[in-house]
Structure formats: C-alpha cells, structure tokens
Structure 1
Amino acid sequence: MSSHTKNAVLYRMVMEKHICPFGLKSKDLLERHGYQVEDHWLTSREQTDAFQAEHQVETTPQTFIEGERIGGFDELAVLLGEKKPEAEQSDTSYQPVIAIFAIAALLAMAVGWYHFHELLNVRIFQWFIAFAMCLLAVQKLQDLESFSTMFLNYDLLAQRWVRYGKIYPFAEALAGILMVAGAMLWLAAPVAIAIGAIGSASVIKAVYIDKRELKCACVGGNSDVPLGFISLTENLMMLIMGMWML
C-alpha cells in the first residue's frame, strides 16, 4: 500500500428504515479529500447504543483518523477546512436573499428570451421584481406565524394592527402575480406602493434612526438575514415599481 494513502474509519447508522444523512455526508467528504474509508454500518438501535456507550459519545456518525476520534460531521468538516469552527461562524447570512434575487433574475431573463429574444429590457426588469416578490412571499408563507412574529419587531403598521403581519405575504404575492400577468394593475400598483412605502419607512426608522440590530423577516420568520440595506432595497423596488405602473 502506498505510504501516501490516507485512511479513515467511519461508523454510521444504516438501518432498514433509516440511513443517517450525516453519515452519508461524512463518507462523501472523506472520499472527496482523498481518504480510503473503512465504512462500518450500525444496523440496529442496540448496536448503535452499544457503540455510543463504548466510545462515550452521544451521536453518530463518528470518524476516526489514524486512531484518533475526530467526531461527527461538523467536527470532520472543520478538520478538513470545509467549515469554520463554531466560534468563528457568523449568526447572519445573506445567502437566502441572494439565492432568491438570483433565481428571480434568471426566471425573468428566461421568460424575456422566450418572448423577445432579449435578456434585458423594461418588461424583463418588471418580471424580475415581480418574480422576486412572489419568491419572497413563498418564504414568508412557509411559516406564517413565525414571520408575523418577527415582522412585529420593526414594521410600523404591524405594531399598530397586528393582523397586518399575516396579511402582508398574501398582498406581496398578489401584487407580484398580477405584475407577472400584466393584469389588474389598478390593484397591483396601489398594493405594491402601500407595502413598499410602509416597509421602507419601517426599515429606515428601525435601522438608520433607532440604530437597532434586528433580523429581517423578508425571507421568513427563521431568517438570519440582518435588517438593513437588503430589506430597504426590497421595499424600495416594490414602491418604485408600483409608482411606475401607475
């Protein structure tokens, strides 16, 4: 065997009705980093409990490299440089909102290419905003209760009329769908203007006047996106588009 061969021993749950996803991720991670994996399956609850008791661990999978226990998937990912240590990880992320705006832009360009054989014109920009509104509304509607609770932290109208927090995602979706269709703009435009203006004022007051550090509910109630420039941009786009449509 080559002296440069890297070997790892992996213990993971592979049962008839359950295959541990983190065990699969650990095996894949090791193989991508050039390790030959000695893959041990824990095929029953009793076998798993016995393994955990023997090695004094509470979870599986567990990876061993050169006889040393590395730990679960998170510890392995840190060791192999795929993930930062927990102490260095940020509690905020722009990834969800970047993904939504990127997909909205690609959808708008795809529809624009189908209709006009162009990738950029005024109508395509309208579709971009409309698709983004619809995708953001879907995020909020996945857990309406969590969204409305987070929304109450900063939205000026919701703080005065609590039910607005549960109406907002439906209004955003309605305006976005009508904008995509180019129909009933007499309704879509005022709705976009209203929610965009209230949202912009709320973000400006909370972030730039009161200097509060909050999470934005724009991508749902479990969001790690910080309230600030991105949230203000979303609301200003709706406001400007609504005014333009009028």
Structure 2
Amino acid sequence: MKNPRTATLYRMVMPDHLCPSGLKAKWLLEKHGYTIEDHHLTTREETDAFKQKHDVATTPQAWINGERIGGYTDLRAHFGNPVRDKSKTTYTPVLVLFAMMALMALAAAFVTTGQPITILAAEWFVSFSMCALAYLKLRDVESFSTMFLNYDLLARRWVPYGYIYPFAEGLAGVLMTAHILDFISIPVALFIGTIGAASVFKAVYLDKRELKCACVGGDSNVPLGFVSLTENLFMIGMALWMLAKPALI
C-alpha cells in the first residue's frame, strides 16, 4: 500500500548549481513526515522543458498526494508557516541589531569590569549601535543618501550631507567606544542626532508621511517612526551624558 504521506519534488541539481530552495523544500517535506520522490533536474534544458510542460516559472515544484503545491514558499504557506512579504515594512532588522549590540555591550563590559550590569555597558550599547548602523549605511552610500533625502531636513537643503552622515555616525561611534577625543565625538553626535530627531519628528508626527527609514541602509523596509527617532535620541543622550559625566563621577 502506498504511503498516504507522499510528496513528489522536482528540483535543480546540477554540477555547477544546487538549488538552495530545493534543499529547503526537501527538508520541509521530510520535517512533516513525507516520503519524497525526489526528481533531479540536471541540465538547464531539462529544467526549461519541465517548466514549460507544467506551466510554472520557477523550481523547485512539489506535489503532495498528486496535488501541486508549488515552490518552497508555497510549501511554507501550505504547512501554516509564516511567509514573509518582502514588500511590507518591518522593524525586525533594527530590533535584531539593537538586541545584538546590547548583548555585545554587556559581554564586553563584563570582561572589562567583572560586573554584569554597568554604566560602561550602557555607553557601549549606544556606541556599538552607532558603529553597526553606520556600517549598514556604508555598504551602499548612494542608496542610503537617496532614501535619506526623503525626509532629512539638512540633506534636502545640502545634498552632500547625505553622503557625510554615515561617516560622521561611524566616527562618533568609534571615538565614543574608545572614550577618546570627546571634543570631536560629542559635537558630531549632538549635531547629527538633533537634526535626525527633528527630521523624523516632522516627517512622521507633523506631516504624517509614511516613509521607509534609511537607518539600516538604502535597501531597508524599516518604517520611519519611533525606532528611527529612538536612534537619534540615543545619540543625543549619549553626547549629553559624556558632557555631564566628568561632573557626576
């Protein structure tokens, strides 16, 4: 008797290309207990003929008990797994970044001080975050500056500021991490943080515009809003703390 949980999978397995989505589709079917009839498409010609025969645009393609489900994303949806809509905005990238920077700051400060929770950890969380965000912008400064021009008040008046901003953020972050040259890092962080906060507040809360934030680079789907405002407020707060710190300690 044939196994009622049977799936048929067609995927590209070539000497110069092993389809990642095909591997994921095979793993997902196995995870759900299906016995798989795994058919390899070993040439481009064979793949093109398969797509033409079944009137599909992509591979892999999966059938479950004779019914075509589709590719890997279709299988995820079929099994009730979340499917990401790449066109929708999400806070996930920046939240993951902040979480990782917080853990790194706690770990680095613990090695330095031997204490689990310290002021140094809080300082490094902000400076590490500034460096990481600057890196994401610097991967493609052109794309970042284009998206930045949608809302930044200074960049819209002076376009080169969109190119300067990620370098300034990275410089301030590195100097604040090292606790050196405060006379450079403090005014830089205050300047870009204040302009950034004012720009986000105006665009989102006064003009009610729905925009994507350039904070994690020019290919971001992060919505401009509270998280973007928080990034700038962190920079302002860090600069003010460093100004006040000598008198408090």
- For residues 61-95 of structure 1, give each alpha carbon's deviation from its aligned partner in whole angstroms, at most 9, with x where no partner exists: 00010111111111111111112486xx8711111
Aligned residues: 243
Query: Kindly, what percent of the aligned residue pairs are identical?
Result: 58
8 Å CA contact 1:62–1:69 kept in 2: the answer is yes
Is 1:162 matched up with 2:167? Answer: no
- Structure 1 gap ranges (5+): none
8 Å CA contact 2:168–2:188 kept in 1: the answer is yes
Match of 2:22 in 1: 23
3-state secondary structure, aligned to 1:14: strand
Moved over 3 A (4+): none
3-state secondary structure, aligned to 2:197: helix
CA distance in 1, matches of 2:166, 2:116: 29
Match of 1:12 in 2: 11
CA distance in 1, matches of 2:38, 2:213: 43
Is 1:171 matched up with 2:168? Answer: yes
CA distance in 2, matches of 1:90, 1:152: 21
3-state secondary structure, aligned to 1:11: strand
Q: What root-mean-square deviation, in Å, do the aligned CA atoms of Structure 1 and Structure 2 show?
A: 1.5
Structure 2 letter corresponding to 1:152: L
- For residues 91-126 of structure 1, give each alpha carbon's deviation from its aligned partner in whole angstroms, at most 9, with x where no partner exists: 111110011101100110110110112222111100
CA distance in 2, matches of 1:77, 1:83: 7
Match of 1:131 in 2: 128
3-state secondary structure, aligned to 1:39: strand
CA distance in 1, matches of 2:87, 2:144: 22
CA distance in 2, matches of 1:66, 1:179: 60
2:228 to 227, 231, 236: 231
3-state secondary structure, aligned to 1:69: strand
Structure 2 letter corresponding to 1:192: A
CA distance in 1, matches of 2:84, 2:164: 40
Is 1:80 matched up with 2:75? Answer: no
CA distance in 2, matches of 1:154, 1:119: 39
Range 39-48 or range 29-38, more displaced: 29-38
CA distance in 2, matches of 1:90, 1:33: 29
8 Å CA contact 1:78–1:85 kept in 2: the answer is no
Is 1:148 matched up with 2:138? Answer: no
- For residues 150-187 of structure 1, give each alpha carbon's deviation from its aligned partner in whole angstroms, at most 9, with x where no partner exists: 00000000000101001100111111111111111111
Structure 2 letter corresponding to 1:122: I
Match of 2:215 in 1: 218
CA distance in 1, matches of 2:55, 2:207: 49
Question: What's the offset of the Cα at 1:2?
Answer: 8.3
- Structure 2 gap ranges (5+): 244-249
3-state secondary structure, aligned to 1:219: coil
Match of 1:193 in 2: 190
Is 1:44 matched up with 2:43? Answer: yes
TM-score normalised by the chain length of structure 1? 0.95
TM-score normalised by the chain length of structure 2? 0.94
